[in-house]
Structure 1
Amino acid sequence: MTLGLAACSASGAGQSLRGTGDLGVVIARATGELAVIDTTNRAFLSKVSGLGDLSHASVVYSRDERYAYVFGRDGGLTKVDILAAKIVKRVIQSGNSIGGAISQDGTLVAVANYEPGGVKVFDARTLELIVDIPAVPEGGGARSKVIGLVDAPGNRFVFSLWDHDEIWVADMADPRKPEIQKFQNVGRNPYDALITPDGRYYIAGLFGEDGMALLDLWHPEQGVQRILGSYGKGEDDKRPVYKMPHLEGWAIADDLAFVPAVGRHEVLVIDMTSWREIQRIPVAGQPVFVMARPDGRQVWVNFAFPDYHQLQVISSESREVIKTLPAGKGVLHMEFHPRGEIVWVSVRDENKIIAYNTETFDKLEELALESPSGIFLSARAHKPGL
């Protein structure tokens, strides 16, 4: 009887009964839309409009994978029901924002803000503002832009302060009164960051100097370490950097990290037990995303202008390029199916997304979408930092 009522209720609401595990969303940045994709049938299901400025948008998911939280560049935070294809609630919470995160228990959504600088934390169900954390350094001063906001185990958020060279860890055990641990002098202008898949290490790249800042969240009492002292733009290197690489796309396989070199036609190989560089792999251009297939056997790379019309695949065993794919002009983002058999690629300047078989490299599907950028599948709901 209960199942019958549930089925009638779903039918009455105009929704077919289905799960969300094979769904995802694709950002259409020029039109302020989000397209819901069915990855099993490799087809778009619906579009949701009215999402504001999506020129640098990102998405996180609720634990049940039904709701996508969209972070727009205009400070908009939008909760979207991907089954009903509608906006549940939208708030303009700042003047300029740069991404966000959802807490380990799924109850809190945090947004990193450029203007005014800081982090705002919201109730994931209602989008009620729970707490505003101004990014003001010890001793006072102007608010800082916040970047590299991620969730961490223990219902914590970790983020970096661009203007004040700090990393903060916010313990949200009491959401309205978070405990903030601050690490100072981590390096000039941290510009992006990641958390490793096990949730242990937070690593921030530095724009103002070479090197990276590493915080072991299992042992924060050890403070922030400086690693990879030669990583960065290179203070004496005058070559143009067409796009700073995204650190979120680090590929990790067999205790090795495959890392985009800034401004160079190389992917760096890092030993994660010592945090030392052990190899450089020549590639076709300046890498932006360097992403591992879920089994770790392959690493896929896309590139900045003018080489952004192609993809390259590196074998994590041989550490050599094994395939080059001419995907089309303006490749921006990649996303693997949870078990890695397919990768989706957005090709902005040709208004399409492409699905490739990752074993044969055959093109399986090509779907039209105006100016696509980020691709976010619902499996992210269960991965730290995503």
Structure 2
Amino acid sequence: MSVPLFNKLMPGLFLILSSLVLPIAWADAEINPAYQTHCASCHGADRLGGTGPALLPGNLDRLKRPDAIKTITEGRLATQMPAFGTKLTAQEITSLAELIYAPLAKTPTWGMDEIRTSRVEYAKTGSLPDKPAFKADPLNLFVVVELGDHHATILDGDKFEPITRFATRYALHGGPKFSPDGRYVYFASRDGWIAKYDIWNLKLVAEIRAGINTRNLAVSSDGRFAMVANYFPHTLVALDTRDLTPIRVIDVKDDGGKSSRVSAVYDAAPRKSFIAALKDIPEVWELSYDDKAMPDKTAFAPRRLKLDDYLDDFFFDPAYDHVIGSSRGGQGQVVNLNVGRKIADVALPGLPHLGSGISWRYQDQTVMATPNLKEGVVSVIDMTSWKTIKQIPTLGPGFFMRSHERTPYAWVDVFNSSKNRDVIQIIDKKTLELVKELKPSPGKVAAHTEFTRDGKYAVVSVWENDGELVIYDAKTLEVVKRIKMNKPSGKYNVYNKITRSEGTSH
């Protein structure tokens, strides 16, 4: 079978093959008709997760049973979890809660042997030409994730024309990451598949399944390693980026042996390390890839920083000396990575989305700003005193905030609003005032602004199956072009990502 044909068939083939590869342990879920009807499509017929997280006792330590019943009944804010209170009886909801706290008859194993066996290589390392197969600027490309039919588009950021479009795994999650030269892009899917794609040659290079339920991946600043954060099993997985061969599977546990899901992992380039936040243990882990700290190249021994509270989401300061984090309970804290402890509390109301935060210079000081998943507010924090400078009211809870060094504006969506989801709001970074509201496509969800490498144009997603990219002149705020796409979500500019632009997520 040719690679292009295989790419088209991958998502469907995986759904069939995964049932053959993984040990099946879903008899308990199969006999619960409410689960099969309302839950299995997102959380998996085996409760091991899909677009939604795995529903297993070990993953629910922070969610007490009464809260689980409330979540099933009322839904969960800032997630895709809907409310079932009008569709299910109280008895059915209680039965579902009992089910998800019951252990599986047999828990699948996904360790080094299973990961290694899953690897598929489509092109040998070094076999592809070392120059782009197209004439566009390779650093001003966008990788656009289209969730509607599980594809990605490589978009020319100068002409705003697609170069190619290819199939991806089902439910990509966590944002693609790039090699330092921008040649390769790495994707992670919710069901654990990691893919390496050669942008210059427009070819898939390799894939490997690093977990069963995965949050995201990070790529080291030297391009040698990828680190994968898993919800299930409770592991971090180190990969060799040359061909995605596994290097080490790291069990995530505290001193007492309690294991934890990994909320997220990011690269801290100046430190030559990965930083991982843990879902079920109040710790942050630092895993060095510096040769001096890791002489055998395979250790990745975690440096464990113990905290007062969990970190579900976090943000780096520009120097990567501090992590600013929050939990779903809304507690904010600043962790100094050099001294290895919390040094300050941060006033962050509601549910800040720090993973989408940005920073800039404001009145001779560096500030960070974050949208809020629960409240209609953007918090602006002084990154020296850690005090709140301003709470900017918005039309509703948002999800993404973006800017660029060469634009005076920050763009924030109202993604989680009940009635203003078609609006993008523009904030003046000098005055911290809202100066304009844009409606890329009235009545349709607008989200995730990203900029060209020079900051001249802003690209917004209309997050619908009959959606589009809307390109704005970043200075005049006028529409210059529209490109039809199938539920485009994130779009990632190569240059801005590899140079760690202050206006985009890292």
- TM-score w.r.t. the length of structure 2 is 0.67
Cα distance between partner residues in 2 of 1:82 and 1:351: 24
Question: Is the CA contact 2:239–2:248 (under 8 Å) kept in the aligned structure 1?
Answer: yes
2:245 partner amino acid: E
State the 1:259 CA deviation. Answer: 2.1
Match of residue 307, structure 2, among 180, 185, 197: 185
Are 2:332 and 1:212 aligned?
Answer: yes
Map 1:199-278 onto structure 2 (within 5 A): 199-208=320-329, 210-217=330-337, 219-221=338-340, 223-228=341-346, 230-233=347-350, 245-254=352-361, 255-278=366-389
Cα distance between partner residues in 2 of 1:250 and 1:280: 14
Which residue of the partner structure matches residue 468 of structure 2? 352
Q: Which is worse superposed, 317-326 or 54-63?
A: 54-63
Match of residue 314, structure 1, among 414, 417, 427: 427
Structure 1 residues 367 and 17 mapped into 2: Cα distance closer, same or farther (>3 Å)?
closer
Question: Is the CA contact 2:220–2:272 (under 8 Å) kept in the aligned structure 1?
Answer: yes
Which residue of the partner structure matches residue 458 of structure 2? 343
Question: Is the CA contact 2:325–2:333 (under 8 Å) kept in the aligned structure 1?
Answer: yes
Q: Give per-residue Cα distances to partners, 1:101-124, cap 9 Å, x unaligned.
A: 111211111111111122111111
RMSD value, Cα? 2.2
Map 1:54-203 onto structure 2 (within 5 A): 54-141=171-258, 143-152=259-268, 153-173=270-290, 174=294, 175-188=297-310, 190-203=311-324
Structure 1 residues 32 and 354 mapped into 2: Cα distance closer, same or farther (>3 Å)?
same
Structure 1 residues 335 and 258 mapped into 2: Cα distance closer, same or farther (>3 Å)?
same
Which one scores higher on RCO, CA 8 angstroms, separation ≥ 6? 1
Question: Is the CA contact 1:63–1:106 (under 8 Å) kept in the aligned structure 2?
Answer: yes
Q: Give per-residue Cα distances to partners, 1:332-354, cap 9 Å, x unaligned.
A: 31211223111111111141111
Cα distance between partner residues in 2 of 1:338 and 1:211: 35
- Gaps of at least 5 residues in structure 1 are 1-8, 234-243
Question: Is the CA contact 2:225–2:238 (under 8 Å) kept in the aligned structure 1?
Answer: yes
Question: Is the CA contact 1:70–1:78 (under 8 Å) kept in the aligned structure 2?
Answer: yes
Question: Is the CA contact 1:203–1:213 (under 8 Å) kept in the aligned structure 2?
Answer: yes
From the two aligned structures, give the one with the greater strand fraction: 1
Structure 1 residues 299 and 15 mapped into 2: Cα distance closer, same or farther (>3 Å)?
closer
Are 2:27 and 1:27 aligned?
Answer: no
Secondary structure of 1:287's partner? coil
Which residue of the partner structure matches residue 403 of structure 2? 292
2:298 partner amino acid: R
State the 1:279 CA deviation. Answer: 1.5
Structure 1 residues 279 and 17 mapped into 2: Cα distance closer, same or farther (>3 Å)?
closer
Which residue of the partner structure matches residue 365 of structure 1? 481
State the 1:195 CA deviation. Answer: 1.8
Which residue of the partner structure matches residue 305 of structure 1? 417
2:452 partner amino acid: H
Question: Is the CA contact 1:15–1:83 (under 8 Å) kept in the aligned structure 2?
Answer: yes
Cα distance between partner residues in 1 of 2:426 and 2:135: 38
Structure 1 residues 195 and 35 mapped into 2: Cα distance closer, same or farther (>3 Å)?
same
Structure 1 residues 369 and 57 mapped into 2: Cα distance closer, same or farther (>3 Å)?
farther
**Structure 1 runs, 4 residues or longer, greater than 4 Å off:** none
Larger Rg: 2
Cα distance between partner residues in 1 of 2:129 and 2:312: 45
Structure 1 residues 182 and 14 mapped into 2: Cα distance closer, same or farther (>3 Å)?
closer
Structure 1 residues 194 and 118 mapped into 2: Cα distance closer, same or farther (>3 Å)?
farther
Cα distance between partner residues in 2 of 1:263 and 1:162: 19
Cα distance between partner residues in 2 of 1:202 and 1:193: 6
Cα distance between partner residues in 1 of 2:357 and 2:134: 38
Cα distance between partner residues in 2 of 1:348 and 1:177: 41
State the 1:61 CA deviation. Answer: 0.6
Residue correspondences, number = 360
Cα distance between partner residues in 1 of 2:486 and 2:326: 32
From the two aligned structures, give the one with the greater helix fraction: 2
Secondary structure of 1:248's partner? helix
